[in-house]
Amino acid sequence: MGIRNIFKEEDPILRRRAREVITFDERLGLLIDDMIETMRKAEGVGLAAPQVGISRRVIIVETKEGGLVELVNPVIYEKSGKQIGPEGCLSVDPSKTGYVERPMFVKVKGYDRNGKEILAEGEGLRARAFCHEIDHLDGILYIDKLCQPPKSEE
């Protein structure tokens, strides 16, 4: 396992749609292990493969309330509610944050590192993290979705 460089918002890989994973092998497992180590060292709650320079549809999310989830070729298949909250990103200047509207609850399906289908769900921060990381796979950064903070936050 190893720490990988986190690509910054200027890098074109972060603006491209990542490619589907079709081969579930040892290299994929190594990528996921490296992503976990990199995310934890950077003290993030999620990371997408394009953020470490790999154009593949792989994300990880780790929150206190839900633990670690690895998802290959993730798709949100159900969402409900609405939340507007602050976001930051390991690929964007850490001094920048902004408010983004996201679903309050999501259900996501994808595959684990061995190609077995898995289902995951999240509420609150976990839902926000799933959405944020899946956006990365489509070349979207949170700074593309900024909105006004809720009235009580102003």
Q: Check if 133 is active-site.
A: yes
pLDDT of residue 153: 56
The residue annotated as part of the active site, out of 62, 70, 87, 133, is 133
Mind listing the domains of the chain with CATH numbers?
12-153 (3.90.45.10)
CA 90 to chain centre: 10
d(CA 52, CA 57): 12
Secondary structure percentages of the chain, helix, strand, coil, to 5: 30, 35, 40
**What are the residues whose beta carbons fall under 8 Å from the beta carbon of 119, sequence distance 6 or more?**
107, 108, 109
d(CA 59, CA 106): 15
The count of other CB atoms within 10 Å of the CB of residue 137 is 24
pLDDT tens, per residue, the chain with 154 residues: 689 999 999 999 999 999 999 999 999 999 999 999 999 999 999 999 999 999 999 999 999 988 999 999 999 999 999 999 999 999 999 888 999 999 999 999 999 999 999 999 999 999 999 999 999 999 999 999 999 988 875 5
Q: Is 144 exposed, middle or buried (0-12, 13-18, 19+ CB in 10 A)?
A: exposed
